[in-house]
Amino acid sequence: GQSLEQPSEVTAVEGAIVQINCTYQTSGFYGLSWYQQHDGGAPTFLSYNGLDGLEETGRFSSFLSRSDSYGYLLLQELQMKDSASYFCAVRANTGFQKLVFGTGTRLLVSP
Amino acid sequence: DTEVTQTPKHLVMGMTNKKSLKCEQHMGHRAMYWYKQKAKKPPELMFVYSYEKLSINESVPSRFSPECPNSSLLNLHLHALQPEDSALYLCASSQEVYTGELFFGEGSRLTVL
Protein backbone atom coordinates (compact mmCIF):
# COMPACT_ATOMS: atom_id res chain seq x y z
CA GLY A 1 0.00 0.00 0.00
CA GLN A 2 0.93 3.64 0.20
CA SER A 3 1.46 5.99 3.10
CA LEU A 4 2.10 9.72 3.00
CA GLU A 5 2.87 11.74 6.10
CA GLN A 6 2.53 15.49 6.56
CA PRO A 7 2.52 17.75 9.61
CA SER A 8 -1.05 18.24 10.76
CA GLU A 9 -0.84 22.00 11.22
CA VAL A 10 1.51 24.87 10.46
CA THR A 11 1.10 28.49 11.54
CA ALA A 12 2.80 31.56 10.10
CA VAL A 13 2.34 35.30 9.70
CA GLU A 14 1.63 37.31 6.59
CA GLY A 15 4.70 37.89 4.46
CA ALA A 16 6.57 34.94 5.91
CA ILE A 17 7.85 31.79 4.18
CA VAL A 18 6.58 28.36 5.17
CA GLN A 19 7.59 24.85 4.15
CA ILE A 20 5.21 21.88 4.27
CA ASN A 21 6.94 18.52 4.20
CA CYS A 22 5.70 15.22 2.82
CA THR A 23 7.33 11.83 3.26
CA TYR A 24 5.95 8.87 1.43
CA GLN A 25 6.19 5.12 1.14
CA THR A 26 4.80 3.59 -1.99
CA SER A 27 5.48 1.08 -4.72
CA GLY A 28 5.69 2.11 -8.34
CA PHE A 29 6.24 5.82 -7.66
CA TYR A 30 5.73 8.16 -10.60
CA GLY A 31 5.44 11.62 -9.12
CA LEU A 32 4.31 13.93 -6.32
CA SER A 33 1.53 16.51 -6.60
CA TRP A 34 0.36 19.25 -4.28
CA TYR A 35 -3.21 20.44 -3.82
CA GLN A 36 -4.78 23.31 -1.90
CA GLN A 37 -8.23 23.07 -0.36
CA HIS A 38 -10.05 25.92 1.34
CA ASP A 39 -12.74 25.04 3.87
CA GLY A 40 -15.89 24.05 2.00
CA GLY A 41 -14.09 24.14 -1.34
CA ALA A 42 -12.68 21.77 -3.89
CA PRO A 43 -9.06 20.65 -3.94
CA THR A 44 -7.16 22.67 -6.55
CA PHE A 45 -3.95 21.56 -8.20
CA LEU A 46 -0.80 23.52 -7.33
CA SER A 47 2.18 21.62 -8.72
CA TYR A 48 3.61 18.31 -9.84
CA ASN A 49 7.14 16.90 -9.54
CA GLY A 50 7.97 13.88 -11.67
CA LEU A 51 11.73 14.32 -11.38
CA ASP A 52 14.05 15.35 -8.56
CA GLY A 53 14.48 19.04 -8.02
CA LEU A 54 12.60 22.25 -7.57
CA GLU A 55 9.57 23.43 -9.55
CA GLU A 56 8.59 27.07 -9.17
CA THR A 57 5.19 28.56 -9.89
CA GLY A 58 4.88 32.12 -8.70
CA ARG A 59 4.92 32.30 -4.90
CA PHE A 60 4.76 28.51 -4.63
CA SER A 61 7.62 26.07 -5.19
CA SER A 62 7.70 22.31 -4.83
CA PHE A 63 10.67 20.02 -4.32
CA LEU A 64 11.15 16.30 -4.73
CA SER A 65 13.90 13.89 -3.71
CA ARG A 66 13.05 10.42 -4.97
CA SER A 67 16.01 8.83 -3.21
CA ASP A 68 14.75 10.18 0.14
CA SER A 69 11.04 9.58 -0.62
CA TYR A 70 10.51 13.18 0.40
CA GLY A 71 9.09 16.35 -0.97
CA TYR A 72 8.00 19.76 0.22
CA LEU A 73 5.84 22.69 -0.76
CA LEU A 74 7.33 26.13 -0.16
CA LEU A 75 5.00 29.09 0.11
CA GLN A 76 6.56 32.56 0.00
CA GLU A 77 5.17 36.01 0.78
CA LEU A 78 2.30 34.43 2.65
CA GLN A 79 -1.12 36.04 2.36
CA MET A 80 -4.21 35.55 4.48
CA LYS A 81 -5.89 33.81 1.55
CA ASP A 82 -3.23 31.08 1.74
CA SER A 83 -4.92 29.78 4.91
CA ALA A 84 -6.15 26.39 3.74
CA SER A 85 -5.37 22.69 3.87
CA TYR A 86 -2.53 21.44 1.70
CA PHE A 87 -2.29 17.85 0.53
CA CYS A 88 0.58 16.05 -1.11
CA ALA A 89 -0.50 13.24 -3.40
CA VAL A 90 1.48 10.39 -4.88
CA ARG A 91 0.93 9.05 -8.35
CA ALA A 92 1.58 5.37 -7.87
CA ASN A 93 1.22 2.26 -9.92
CA THR A 94 -0.15 -0.74 -8.11
CA GLY A 95 -1.45 -2.49 -11.19
CA PHE A 96 -3.29 0.64 -12.24
CA GLN A 97 -2.12 4.20 -11.81
CA LYS A 98 -3.90 6.23 -9.19
CA LEU A 99 -3.47 9.36 -7.12
CA VAL A 100 -3.37 8.83 -3.37
CA PHE A 101 -3.54 11.79 -1.00
CA GLY A 102 -1.47 12.47 2.09
CA THR A 103 -2.86 13.24 5.53
CA GLY A 104 -3.02 16.99 4.84
CA THR A 105 -1.54 20.05 6.53
CA ARG A 106 -3.71 22.87 7.77
CA LEU A 107 -1.96 26.21 7.26
CA LEU A 108 -3.09 29.14 9.36
CA VAL A 109 -1.80 32.55 8.30
CA SER A 110 -2.23 35.37 10.80
CA PRO A 111 -1.84 39.14 10.31
CA ASP B 1 -14.47 25.57 -19.97
CA THR B 2 -12.20 24.31 -17.20
CA GLU B 3 -14.88 23.27 -14.77
CA VAL B 4 -16.11 20.05 -13.29
CA THR B 5 -19.74 20.48 -12.34
CA GLN B 6 -21.38 18.35 -9.67
CA THR B 7 -25.05 18.11 -8.74
CA PRO B 8 -26.65 18.23 -6.31
CA LYS B 9 -24.47 20.33 -4.00
CA HIS B 10 -26.30 18.97 -0.95
CA LEU B 11 -28.28 15.77 -0.52
CA VAL B 12 -30.09 14.34 2.48
CA MET B 13 -31.37 10.80 2.18
CA GLY B 14 -32.74 8.03 4.32
CA MET B 15 -31.17 4.62 4.51
CA THR B 16 -33.81 3.11 2.24
CA ASN B 17 -33.65 5.77 -0.47
CA LYS B 18 -32.10 5.56 -3.90
CA LYS B 19 -30.40 8.68 -5.20
CA SER B 20 -27.72 9.62 -7.70
CA LEU B 21 -24.86 12.08 -7.79
CA LYS B 22 -23.95 13.56 -11.14
CA CYS B 23 -20.71 14.97 -12.53
CA GLU B 24 -19.98 16.63 -15.85
CA GLN B 25 -16.87 17.96 -17.56
CA HIS B 26 -16.33 19.43 -21.01
CA MET B 27 -12.55 19.58 -21.07
CA GLY B 28 -12.18 16.49 -23.23
CA HIS B 29 -10.66 14.59 -20.33
CA ARG B 30 -10.58 10.81 -20.68
CA ALA B 31 -10.23 9.92 -17.00
CA MET B 32 -12.84 10.57 -14.33
CA TYR B 33 -12.82 9.82 -10.62
CA TRP B 34 -14.96 9.60 -7.53
CA TYR B 35 -13.36 10.47 -4.20
CA LYS B 36 -14.95 10.48 -0.75
CA GLN B 37 -13.85 13.01 1.85
CA LYS B 38 -14.70 13.10 5.54
CA ALA B 39 -14.23 16.25 7.59
CA LYS B 40 -10.58 17.13 8.21
CA LYS B 41 -9.43 14.06 6.25
CA PRO B 42 -7.84 13.66 2.82
CA PRO B 43 -9.88 12.61 -0.21
CA GLU B 44 -10.08 8.83 -0.50
CA LEU B 45 -10.21 7.28 -3.94
CA MET B 46 -13.33 5.25 -4.71
CA PHE B 47 -13.46 4.69 -8.46
CA VAL B 48 -11.49 5.52 -11.58
CA TYR B 49 -12.83 5.49 -15.12
CA SER B 50 -10.49 5.61 -18.09
CA TYR B 51 -11.97 5.97 -21.56
CA GLU B 52 -15.41 5.28 -20.08
CA LYS B 53 -14.32 1.94 -18.63
CA LEU B 54 -14.02 1.25 -14.92
CA SER B 55 -10.34 0.68 -14.23
CA ILE B 56 -10.18 0.97 -10.43
CA ASN B 57 -12.69 0.06 -7.74
CA GLU B 58 -11.09 0.57 -4.34
CA SER B 59 -13.13 -2.19 -2.70
CA VAL B 60 -16.10 0.13 -2.38
CA PRO B 61 -19.31 -1.43 -0.97
CA SER B 62 -21.87 -2.35 -3.60
CA ARG B 63 -24.33 0.19 -2.22
CA PHE B 64 -22.25 2.66 -4.27
CA SER B 65 -22.59 2.01 -7.99
CA PRO B 66 -20.69 4.15 -10.51
CA GLU B 67 -21.71 4.71 -14.09
CA CYS B 68 -20.01 6.51 -16.97
CA PRO B 69 -22.63 7.04 -19.72
CA ASN B 70 -20.18 8.92 -21.95
CA SER B 71 -16.82 10.65 -21.81
CA SER B 72 -18.28 13.81 -20.25
CA LEU B 73 -20.55 12.34 -17.61
CA LEU B 74 -20.03 10.36 -14.45
CA ASN B 75 -22.74 9.23 -12.07
CA LEU B 76 -22.66 7.66 -8.64
CA HIS B 77 -25.80 5.73 -7.76
CA LEU B 78 -26.55 5.40 -4.07
CA HIS B 79 -28.77 2.76 -2.48
CA ALA B 80 -29.30 1.58 1.07
CA LEU B 81 -26.59 3.80 2.47
CA GLN B 82 -25.51 3.92 6.10
CA PRO B 83 -25.11 7.03 8.29
CA GLU B 84 -21.33 6.52 8.19
CA ASP B 85 -21.48 7.14 4.42
CA SER B 86 -22.24 10.79 5.13
CA ALA B 87 -19.37 12.73 3.56
CA LEU B 88 -18.37 15.07 0.76
CA TYR B 89 -18.26 13.20 -2.54
CA LEU B 90 -15.82 14.72 -4.98
CA CYS B 91 -15.73 14.12 -8.69
CA ALA B 92 -12.54 14.83 -10.61
CA SER B 93 -11.25 14.53 -14.15
CA SER B 94 -7.88 14.51 -15.87
CA GLN B 95 -6.49 14.30 -19.39
CA GLU B 96 -5.45 10.70 -18.80
CA VAL B 97 -4.93 8.53 -15.75
CA TYR B 98 -1.16 9.01 -16.14
CA THR B 99 -1.10 12.46 -14.55
CA GLY B 100 -0.79 14.12 -11.19
CA GLU B 101 -3.09 16.99 -12.20
CA LEU B 102 -6.73 16.40 -11.41
CA PHE B 103 -9.52 18.93 -11.78
CA PHE B 104 -12.04 18.63 -8.97
CA GLY B 105 -15.66 19.64 -8.73
CA GLU B 106 -17.01 21.44 -5.66
CA GLY B 107 -18.46 18.20 -4.37
CA SER B 108 -21.82 16.87 -3.26
CA ARG B 109 -22.31 16.93 0.49
CA LEU B 110 -24.27 13.85 1.44
CA THR B 111 -26.08 13.30 4.73
CA VAL B 112 -27.58 9.89 5.42
CA LEU B 113 -30.19 9.84 8.18
Percent of chain B at pLDDT > 70 equals 98
CB atoms within 10 A of CB B3: 14
Residues 24-83 of B with CB under 8 A from A: 33, 40-45, 48, 55-56
Task: Characterize A36-68 residue by residue with b for buried, 16 or more Cβ atoms within 10 angstroms of its Cβ, and e for exposed.
Answer: bbeeeebbebbbbbbeeeebeeeebbbbbeeee
| In contact, B13 and B81? CB cutoff 8 Å | yes
Nearest to A27 by CA among A77, A105, A95: A95
Query: Which of A90, A93, A99, A108 to mutate against chain B (most B CBs within 10 Å)?
Result: A99
- Answer whether A89 sits within 8 Å of B100, measured CB to CB: yes
Whether residue A30 and residue B90 make contact (CB cut-off 8 A), yes or no, is no
Where does residue A100 rank: exposed (0-12), middle (13-18), buried (19+ CB within 10 A)? buried
Using the beta-carbon criterion (under 8 Å), do B43 and A98 form an inter-chain contact? no
What pLDDT is stored for residue A18 in this prediction? 98
pLDDT of residue B50: 93
- Which residue type is seen at B49? Y
Mean pLDDT of B83-106: 94
pLDDT digit string (tens) for B23-74? 999 999 999 999 999 999 999 999 999 999 999 898 899 999 999 999 999 9
Write the CB contacts of A57 (distance below 8 Å, at least 6 apart in sequence): A46, A47
Whether the bond into B8 is cis, omega within 30 of 0: yes
List per-residue pLDDT tens for chain A, 111 residues long: 778 999 999 999 999 999 999 999 988 888 999 999 999 899 999 999 999 999 998 999 999 999 999 999 999 999 999 999 999 999 887 666 788 899 999 999 999
DSSP state of A102: -
Q: If you count them, how many residues does chain A have?
A: 111
Q: Is A17 helix (H, G, I), strand (E, B) or coil?
A: coil
**Beta carbons of B45 and A99 less than 8 Å apart:** yes
